[in-house]
Chains A and B, each alone.
Chain A
Amino acid sequence: MLSEKARQEIRTLCQQYPSHQSGLLAALYVAQQEYGGWLPPEALDEVATLMGLPATYVASAASFYTMFHRKPVGHHRIEVCTNISCSLLGADHLLAYLSRKLGIQVGETTPDGQFTLLEVECLGSCGTAPVIKIDDQYYENLTEEKVDHILDRITTGKGRAS
Chain B
Amino acid sequence: MWRFPRRIPKSGRVADSEDLNEGFFPLVAASGHLGEGNWQDDMSGQLNSVTEVAAGIAYDASFVGNAHYAGGPVDTAIAGGLYGGLVQIGSGWTQVASATRTIDVEVGPVIVMASFQHGRRRPNNGSNEPDRHAYVHVQYGIRLDGSTLPISVVGDQDSGSEGQAMERGLWNYRQGVDIFQIVDVAPGRHTFELVCHAEGELGDLEGDEDDPDQDDFVVIYSYELLAVEVK
**A, B in one complex:** no
**Chain A residues within 8 Å of B, Cβ to Cβ:** none
